[in-house]
Amino acid sequence: MNETPMDPTTPNVAENQALTTRVAVVGASGYSGEELVRLLLGHPYARLTAVTSRQYAGKSIAEVFPRFASHPRARELRFSDPNAELLAREADVVFLALPHGVAAEFAVPLMNAGCRVIDLSADFRLRSAAVYQEFYGHEHPAPALLEQAVYGLPEFYADAIRETLLVASPGCYPTSILLPLIPLLRDGLIQPDGIIANSLSGVSGAGRKADLALLFVECNESLRPYGIPKHRHLSEIEQELSAAAGRPLVIQFTPHLVPVNRGILTTLYVQPAVSVATEDERQAFLGMVEQSCTAAYAEAPFVRILGEGRLPDTKNVVGTNSLEFGWKLDPRTGRLLVMSAEDNLVKGASGQAVQSLNLMCGFPEAAGLL
Amino acid sequence: MNETPMDPTTPNVAENQALTTRVAVVGASGYSGEELVRLLLGHPYARLTAVTSRQYAGKSIAEVFPRFASHPRARELRFSDPNAELLAREADVVFLALPHGVAAEFAVPLMNAGCRVIDLSADFRLRSAAVYQEFYGHEHPAPALLEQAVYGLPEFYADAIRETLLVASPGCYPTSILLPLIPLLRDGLIQPDGIIANSLSGVSGAGRKADLALLFVECNESLRPYGIPKHRHLSEIEQELSAAAGRPLVIQFTPHLVPVNRGILTTLYVQPAVSVATEDERQAFLGMVEQSCTAAYAEAPFVRILGEGRLPDTKNVVGTNSLEFGWKLDPRTGRLLVMSAEDNLVKGASGQAVQSLNLMCGFPEAAGLL
Amino acid sequence: MNETPMDPTTPNVAENQALTTRVAVVGASGYSGEELVRLLLGHPYARLTAVTSRQYAGKSIAEVFPRFASHPRARELRFSDPNAELLAREADVVFLALPHGVAAEFAVPLMNAGCRVIDLSADFRLRSAAVYQEFYGHEHPAPALLEQAVYGLPEFYADAIRETLLVASPGCYPTSILLPLIPLLRDGLIQPDGIIANSLSGVSGAGRKADLALLFVECNESLRPYGIPKHRHLSEIEQELSAAAGRPLVIQFTPHLVPVNRGILTTLYVQPAVSVATEDERQAFLGMVEQSCTAAYAEAPFVRILGEGRLPDTKNVVGTNSLEFGWKLDPRTGRLLVMSAEDNLVKGASGQAVQSLNLMCGFPEAAGLL
Amino acid sequence: MNETPMDPTTPNVAENQALTTRVAVVGASGYSGEELVRLLLGHPYARLTAVTSRQYAGKSIAEVFPRFASHPRARELRFSDPNAELLAREADVVFLALPHGVAAEFAVPLMNAGCRVIDLSADFRLRSAAVYQEFYGHEHPAPALLEQAVYGLPEFYADAIRETLLVASPGCYPTSILLPLIPLLRDGLIQPDGIIANSLSGVSGAGRKADLALLFVECNESLRPYGIPKHRHLSEIEQELSAAAGRPLVIQFTPHLVPVNRGILTTLYVQPAVSVATEDERQAFLGMVEQSCTAAYAEAPFVRILGEGRLPDTKNVVGTNSLEFGWKLDPRTGRLLVMSAEDNLVKGASGQAVQSLNLMCGFPEAAGLL
C-alpha cells in the first residue's frame, strides 16, 4: 500500500525479495553495455545477476571496468560466456547489447525459456522484414518475432512495453529525432514531407572497435559527415514518424562525427502545416507547438522542453537520461527549427532500455535514472 | 622576364626592393590577426613593417606570440599603438583585423593617405548601408566607401580585387557556403529558394575574449547551436548568393559551436532545378554539377573538389588555405547535399585576405599560402 | 537493529524525518558547488534545503544547472542571497564552496547559530595561522577556529570528523598526494626527504572564471606547468605528510594544466627507507608497501589499491569518489614511483566533503557516493 | 657569391639543378612520415622524388594525405612499393620512417647504392649493440653500421652530421630531455645522478595504429602514465647524457599519455652541483645556468631559451621545429626544475630530420623549417 519505496527520488531496497528483479546483460563489453552495467549496479529494484562477454569471461566487472570497482557487486560478479539456458535460470529480464544480427539469435532461446528481453540492437525495431532487408542487407533472422516486439520509446509505447516480452530499444539518432517530432506530426502542426534531420554525434556512438578512423588523432580536431544519404537508422525513424503522421513519409538524415565522447545534437528543419506569414499567425502557431509538446510530455520524466528560443546543449544532458529540445520559427524562411540534445549512451541507448525495464516490472519510470 | 621567382611553390625573395610590398596589420592581437602575422612572416614577397595593438604596444611579436619567436622578423618587430598617419608611411597595404564598426574608422584615413586596405571585419562587405543597419544594428560608419569596396572572394572577384584600394574580406561562414553554391546557382542547376546551410564551427571563430561561455570546461564535451535564426553573416551570404542566382533569395543558416580549435564544416541542403526522378536524370544532373564546379574552379588553387560521394573532413584543411567540398544526391528525397570544410582562420579569414593581397600586388595567387 | 537502511549500495529513504539531515550549499555557482548540488540531490539521507549565490539569487537550481532539471527538487529549490542567520534556520549542516578568505566570514556566524560547517576552501586546513599567512599572503581571518577545525580526510580523521562542528575539506592536489603517501610515511617505509609530486590537472580545477588563459582555444592542445615552485596547496600537503612522518618535511610539488575537464593524475617519486639493492630486498620492500597500503585502506570504500605494476588512469575515476593508486619500484634508480588518479571535483572536493557529511551524521560512509 | 638564396627566411629555388637535392621517404604512411612529406613539399632546396608505402602503392600523395592536395607535387607524385635499388636511382638522400628493426634492412642496400640515409627509427641511435639488445629485446640487425651512424641532434653533432652517410635521428622524448640538460651537464652545473624526467606526450607519439587503447573515447578525458620504468628511449637518453657528463649515469624517465594530438612537455628535476643554500649562491648558480644555456644555443635557430621563471607551453611550439625551455630554482628544496616543450612530430621527429638534411647538404640550417 505504502508507495514510498517506489518514489524514484528516494529509492528504497525491496523489503522482500519479490520486489527485486534479476537482470542480466549479454554483450557487456561495448560502450552501451558498460553504461547499462553502471545503471543496473545503481538500480534500487534490479539486481545484476549475470554479465556475459566471450572476451572477458572469468573476469570480474571491477577488473574489466575499473570505474565501477568501488561497488561491491562489481567486485563479486564475473563475466561468463553467453549461454541462453544458463541466463534463463539466473535472470528474469535479459538486456542484449550485441551487434545487429547477433541479438536475434539470443532472443529466441531466452524468450522460449521464459525470460523477458530488452534488445538494444536494431534487430527488432522494424515491423517489416522487407524494410529490414533493404536497410541491413540480409534477411531478418527471426521475422516471426517482429510482430511481438514493441518499440521501446517509453514516452509513446508505455502500455505496450509494460505487457511485452520483447522490447526493441530505439537507436540513439532516432530518439533524438522522434521525441521532438512525434507530437508535432500527430497534432498535424508540421508538414510530413521535406523534414531534414542534421545530427552531430560523439565518437562513442561508433562503438568500441579498433578502427583507424576512430583513433584519437583522427577524430580530435576533425569534423565530418558520414553515412550519407541512407544511414540504417533512417528505417526506424521513418517507420515511427510515418506512424505519427498517419501516412508514409521520407526524411533527410545527415549524421556527422564530432570530437566529444558522448552526446547527440540534432537540428531539425520542418515546415509548419499552417500559414506563418504574419506575426499573428506565427504567434498562434508557436502557441500550438508549445501546447502540443507540453501535452505530449506532461508525464514524461526525461523530456525537458526548453520552449521557444532556448537552445539545447549536450553538456546539459550528458550522463543523464534526459533529452532536451527547443525551437525557433524563422520568419524570413517560414521554417520551424527544432533542436534536441541527448546522451547517446543513456537516453539514446542504455538509460532508455532501463526506462523500459522499469515499465515492464512496474517500477517507477525514473527508478535508477535520476 | 624570368617567371621563376613567381612560382608559388618555390618562392623567391625579390632581388630588388621594388618587388617587395610593405604590409601592416592593425589589431593583431586576436586569432585572425595572429594567423595573419604567421602568414605574412612567411610570405616571400611581403615584408611585415608594422603590427598594432593597444594592449601589446611596445612588445615584440615574439613576446606576444611565442610560436613565431624562431622567425628573426618576429624578434625585431614591435607592436605599436595604431596610428593611421604613421602606418601610411610604413606600409603599402594595411590589413585591418578589428571588430566590426571600428575597422571603418581606420580605413578612411589610411586610404586618404594612399594605402590600400584589406579589411577582415564585416564593415565593407555589404553593398547596401540599409542592410548593414538591419543586421548590425547601427548606421554604417562610412557608407561612401561601400561602393568602392570589393568583396574579397578571389575565386569570383579576382579582377576587381586587383584594381581596388579596399578589399572587404569575406566572413568564415560565408566562404564555406558561397564557394560550393555560387557555381550551381550561376549555372541554374539548383533552385534559389529553400537553401539550408547547417554549419559547425571551432571555438576560435568566437574570438579571443574572456567570456564564460568560451571557457574550456564550457566548450569541451559540448555541442550547441547559437545565433539562430538571424546570424549577421546571413546578410553577406544572401547578397552574394542572390548575385549568383540573378535574383534575391533568402536562406536558412544555422551555426553550431563544437569543441575544436579551428575548422568549419558546412552541410548544404539544396533542390535541383531539374527533375531527378529517374536514374538517368540523376546521372545527367550529377554530370552537370561536376562540370559546373570543375569549370568554376579550374584555375583556383585553393578550392578542392571532392566530387560525388566523397565527404570533406576539417582535418584535411586545418592549417591550409584550402576549402574542400563534395556532394551527394539523395534519390529518396531528390535533394542535393553539398558539404564543405575549411579552416575558419585561414581560408575563412587571414589566408583569404593574403590571397587578395597577392592579387592586388601582382604576386602569384598562392604565394605564401602553400 | 535493522542495518539495512544504512547499506550504502541500496540506500533507503529515512522512514522518519529524524534520519534526514537538512543541508545547504553556500556559493553553489562554481564547479565544486555544482558537483556538491549533484551529489546532495541524489543523497538518500540528506535533504538540500538551501543553495546560495548572489549571482543567481531567485533562480531555481534547474535553471542555473539544466543538467539537474529532471530532479524534482532542482525545480523547486531556488538560489537565495547568502545570509547566515536564515541558513542557520534552514539547515543542520552547511557546505561552504566559497573562495579562500571569504569562507571564514561565513563559518563563524553559522557555527554560532548552531550549524555544523563543511568548508571546501583552504581557510581552515592549516593548523598554523603563520603558515596560512606565509602561503596565502594575508592574516588568517578567524585564527581562533583553526584549533577546532578537523582536516576532512576521512581515511585518516574519521573519528575527529564525526565529532567536530567544522570540517576543513582537503584540496584536490593534496588528496591525490596524501592518500598514497601517508601509509608509507607512517610505517617508515619511505624517506621523508626528497619527495617529488608531479601532478596533472584538468581545467575545472582552475574554477569557473572568465580568464583568457582558460579559454577553450588556449587550453585545448596545450600542456603547461604553472604555480611553480610554491603552490598554495604545498602548505597543507607538507602539514599532513609531516604529521605522518613524525617530523617536518618539505616536498617538491609541480602542477600542470592539461586539456581535460576533470581529473588529477599525480606521479610521486620517493626513496625507500631500506636498501633495495638486491632482488630479494626489492621483493621484501614491495611486500611491505603492499601490506602498508592494504592495511591502511582495508575499510576505506573509496581508495582503490592497484598494487605493484598496475598504473592508474583518470578515466577510471572521473565521476566517482574513488582514488586509485599503484606503484612501481625502479631497480635501476632504486626509486619507488607511486601514481594516483582521482576526480578533482569529487574525491578532490565535493565527494570528499559529502563523505565527511556522512561521518558527521552517522550515515554509511558511502551514502550517496556510489 | 651571393648568399641571398641561402637565407632561410626568404628561401629561393635553386637557379641551377645542382643546388636541388632529390629526397625520398620510405614508410610515409605514419604520422612522422606524413609530417616529413609536409616539410619536404615546402622545402626550397629539396625535391621529393619518391615516397613508399606498401599499403598506399599506386596512390598519389594528394589522395593519401588530402591536406597536401593543393600542392602541385602532391598531385603528381605517387606512392610506390619500397625498393632500395629503385630508390637509389631516384634519390640522393633517403629518409626512413619505418618501425624499429625494419629500418636497418633498408639502410644497408641504400647506402651500398650510394644514398645518404636519415633514419627516424631507433635502429642506429645506440653506439652499443649490447645496449640495443637489452632495450629492444633482439640482436641488432646491422651492428657494423653503428659506428658509422651519427646521432642526429644538430645542436651538438652538426659537424659529424655534415660528413656522415647515416644519420640516426633522435627520438621525441630524448630530444625534449637532452637539449635542456646537455649544456648543464657539460658545464658541470648539475649532478649527473638522480635526474628525473617526467614527460607528457600527445597521442600521435604512439603512431597510427588500430589499437583500442588509442581510440578517441579511450584517450579523450584520460590521463595515464605508461612504459614505466624502462621505456626504450631511456637507452639513448642515458647514452647522450652520459657523454655530456663525462661518465655513465642513470636517469628516471616517466612518460604519460595525455589527450592532445601533438606535443611533449617534459619537467626535469635535477640537483645543482654547487651549494644553493643562500640567496647569493642561488643567484650565482642561476647566472651560470643562464650563461651555459645561452652559450650552448647562441647559434641554434630552434632552441628558444625562456630563462628563469618563464614556463613553456606546448601550444607555443606545436607545428614548429622549436623546442623552448625555462627553469626555476626551488629555494625550499634546493632543486632546479627545467621544463621543455616541443612538437613530438617536428622537433621530436621529422623537423629534426630535415634539420639534419640541411646540414648534410650545405643548406641553411633552418631551410624549409620556418
ipTM of the complex: 0.94
Is D368 a domain residue? no
Output the pLDDT for position D230: 82
For residues D2-10, average pLDDT = 38
* Contact: C220, B31; criterion CB under 8 Å: no
* Contact: A215, D221; criterion CB under 8 Å: no
pLDDT exceeds 90 at position C96: yes
Output the pLDDT for position D334: 97
What is the pLDDT confidence band of residue B273, given thresholds at 50, 70 and 90? very high
Q: What average pLDDT is seen over chain C?
A: 93
CA distances (Å), D241 to each of D169, D199, D248, D312, in order? 16, 17, 8, 22
Distance from CA of A108 to the nearest CA of C (A): 33
- CATH (domain of A240): 3.30.360.10
Please indicate, yes or no, whether residues D71 and D137 belong to a single structural domain of this protein: yes
> Which site among B223, B241, B271, B328 would you substitute to test the A interface, given the most A Cβ atoms closer than 10 Å to its Cβ?
B223
DSSP bridge partners of A324: A304, A341
- Ramachandran angles phi, psi of B368, nearest 5°: 75, 5
Please indicate, yes or no, whether residues D257 and D114 belong to a single structural domain of this protein: no
Which residues in chain B touch residue D4, judged by CB atoms under 8 angstroms apart?
A: 13, 15
pLDDT exceeds 70 at position A1: no
pLDDT tens digits for range C228-256:
888 899 999 999 999 999 999 999 999 99
Distance from CA of D275 to the nearest CA of C (A): 16
Distance from CA of A325 to the nearest CA of D (A): 26
Output the pLDDT for position D50: 97
Distance from CA of C215 to the nearest CA of A (A): 16
Catalytic residues of B: 172
Pairs across B and D, CB distance < 8 A: 83
In total, chain C counts a number of residues equal to 370
Which residues in chain D touch residue A208, judged by CB atoms under 8 angstroms apart?
A: 212, 215, 217-218
Tally of structural domains, chain C: 2
Please indicate, yes or no, whether residues A208 and A330 belong to a single structural domain of this protein: yes
Is B209 a domain residue? yes
Residue in chain D closest to A202 (alpha carbons) equals D217
What is the pLDDT confidence band of residue C318, given thresholds at 50, 70 and 90? very high
What is the pLDDT confidence band of residue C100, given thresholds at 50, 70 and 90? confident
DSSP bridge partners of D336: D270, D329
CA–CA separation, A52 and A23 (whole Å): 12
pLDDT tens digits for range A180-207:
999 999 999 999 999 999 999 999 999 9
DSSP bridge partners of A25: A51, A95
CA–CA separation, A19 and C10 (whole Å): 13
Which residues in chain B touch residue D310, judged by CB atoms under 8 angstroms apart?
A: none
Residue in chain C closest to D258 (alpha carbons) equals C258
* Contact: D210, A208; criterion CB under 8 Å: no
Output the pLDDT for position A125: 97
- Which stretches of chain A sit within 8 Å of chain B by CB? 194, 196, 198, 200, 202, 218, 220-226, 228-230, 250-252, 254, 256, 258-263, 265, 267, 269, 311-315, 318, 328-330, 332-333, 335, 337, 339, 341
CA–CA separation, B85 and B34 (whole Å): 23
pLDDT tens digits for range C59-95:
999 999 999 998 999 999 999 999 999 999 999 999 9
CA–CA separation, C174 and A296 (whole Å): 50
For residues A214-219, average pLDDT = 98
Is B242 a domain residue? yes
* Contact: D215, A221; criterion CB under 8 Å: no
pLDDT exceeds 70 at position C15: no
* Contact: D337, C229; criterion CB under 8 Å: yes
Which amino acid is it at D156?
F
DSSP symbol at C9: T
DSSP bridge partners of C46: C21
Please indicate, yes or no, whether residues C76 and C17 belong to a single structural domain of this protein: yes
pLDDT tens digits for range B110-160:
999 999 999 999 999 999 999 999 999 999 989 999 999 999 999 999 999
Is B368 a domain residue? no
Please indicate, yes or no, whether residues D189 and D50 belong to a single structural domain of this protein: no
Which residues in chain D touch residue C258, judged by CB atoms under 8 angstroms apart?
A: 200, 223, 258-260
Residue in chain D closest to A31 (alpha carbons) equals D217
* Contact: C370, A44; criterion CB under 8 Å: no
Distance from CA of A344 to the nearest CA of D (A): 13
Q: What average pLDDT is seen over chain B?
A: 93
For residues B277-302, average pLDDT = 98
Name the 3-class secondary structure at D190: strand
Distance from CA of C203 to the nearest CA of B (A): 7
Is B282 a domain residue? yes
Please indicate, yes or no, whether residues C25 and C133 belong to a single structural domain of this protein: yes
Output the pLDDT for position A7: 42
pLDDT exceeds 70 at position D17: no
For residues B32-41, average pLDDT = 97
* Contact: D258, C311; criterion CB under 8 Å: no
What is the pLDDT confidence band of residue C106, given thresholds at 50, 70 and 90? very high
* Contact: D216, A31; criterion CB under 8 Å: no
Distance from CA of C209 to the nearest CA of B (A): 6
What is the pLDDT confidence band of residue A101, given thresholds at 50, 70 and 90? confident
Joined grid coordinates for residue D98: 619505418
User: D297 near D306, Cβ under 8 Å?
Assistant: no
What is the pLDDT confidence band of residue B14, given thresholds at 50, 70 and 90? very low
pLDDT exceeds 50 at position D6: no
Please indicate, yes or no, whether residues D281 and D165 belong to a single structural domain of this protein: no
Output the pLDDT for position A262: 98
Please indicate, yes or no, whether residues B138 and B12 belong to a single structural domain of this protein: yes
pLDDT tens digits for range A19-57:
689 999 999 899 999 999 999 999 999 999 999 999 999
Ramachandran area for residue D221 (φ above 0: left; ψ -120 to 50: alpha; else beta)? left
Output the pLDDT for position A162: 98
* Contact: A229, B328; criterion CB under 8 Å: yes
CA distances (Å), D292 to each of C1, D156, D329, in order? 74, 14, 15
Residue in chain D closest to C336 (alpha carbons) equals D229
Output the pLDDT for position C367: 96
Lowest mean pLDDT among A324-328, C186-190, C306-310, D102-106: D102-106
* Contact: D225, C315; criterion CB under 8 Å: no
What is the pLDDT confidence band of residue A217, given thresholds at 50, 70 and 90? very high
- For Cα atoms B226, B231, B236, give the angle at the middle one, nearest 5 degrees: 150
pLDDT exceeds 50 at position D337: yes
Output the pLDDT for position D16: 38
* Contact: B317, D67; criterion CB under 8 Å: yes
Is C40 a domain residue? yes
Which residues in chain D touch residue A34, judged by CB atoms under 8 angstroms apart?
A: none
* Contact: C70, A7; criterion CB under 8 Å: no
> Which site among C56, C65, C211, C217 would you substitute to test the B interface, given the most B Cβ atoms closer than 10 Å to its Cβ?
C217
For residues D98-109, average pLDDT = 90
Joined grid coordinates for residue A311: 537552445
pLDDT tens digits for range D240-250:
999 999 999 99
Which residues in chain B touch residue D44, judged by CB atoms under 8 angstroms apart?
A: 10-11
Please indicate, yes or no, whether residues A124 and A228 belong to a single structural domain of this protein: no
Which residues in chain A touch residue D220, judged by CB atoms under 8 angstroms apart?
A: 203, 216, 220, 259-261
Q: What average pLDDT is seen over chain A?
A: 93
Which residues in chain C touch residue B218, judged by CB atoms under 8 angstroms apart?
A: 208, 216
CA–CA separation, A301 and A303 (whole Å): 6
For residues A81-99, average pLDDT = 94
What is the pLDDT confidence band of residue A264, given thresholds at 50, 70 and 90? very high
pLDDT exceeds 70 at position A3: no
Please indicate, yes or no, whether residues A54 and A123 belong to a single structural domain of this protein: yes
What is the residue range of D90's domain? 4-170+349-361
Is C83 a domain residue? yes
pLDDT tens digits for range A113-171:
999 999 999 999 999 999 999 999 999 989 999 999 999 999 999 999 999 999 999 99
pLDDT exceeds 70 at position C289: yes
Please indicate, yes or no, whether residues D212 and D150 belong to a single structural domain of this protein: no
* Contact: A313, B223; criterion CB under 8 Å: yes
What is the pLDDT confidence band of residue A100, given thresholds at 50, 70 and 90? confident
- Which stretches of chain D sit within 8 Å of chain C by CB? 194, 196, 198, 200, 202, 218, 220-226, 228-230, 250-252, 254, 256, 258-263, 265, 267, 269, 311-315, 318, 328-330, 332-333, 335, 337, 339, 341
pLDDT exceeds 50 at position C365: yes
- CATH (domain of C12): 3.40.50.720
Please indicate, yes or no, whether residues A218 and A192 belong to a single structural domain of this protein: yes
Residue in chain D closest to A219 (alpha carbons) equals D216
pLDDT tens digits for range B208-256:
999 999 999 999 999 999 988 888 999 999 999 999 999 999 999 999 9
In 3D, which of C166, C238, C152 has the Cα closest to residue C195? C238
Distance from CA of C224 to the nearest CA of D (A): 5
Is A366 a domain residue? no
Beta-strand pair B264-270/B323-330: unpaired
> Which site among B29, B204, B209, B215 would you substitute to test the C interface, given the most C Cβ atoms closer than 10 Å to its Cβ?
B215
Catalytic residues of C: 172
* Contact: C210, B211; criterion CB under 8 Å: yes
Which amino acid is it at C162?
R
Output the pLDDT for position D338: 98
CA–CA separation, C353 and C35 (whole Å): 11
CA–CA separation, D357 and D366 (whole Å): 10
Q: Which chains touch A (3 or more CB pairs under 8 A)?
A: B, C, D
- Give the count of beta carbons closer than 10 Å to the beta carbon of residue B141: 17
* Contact: A210, D208; criterion CB under 8 Å: no
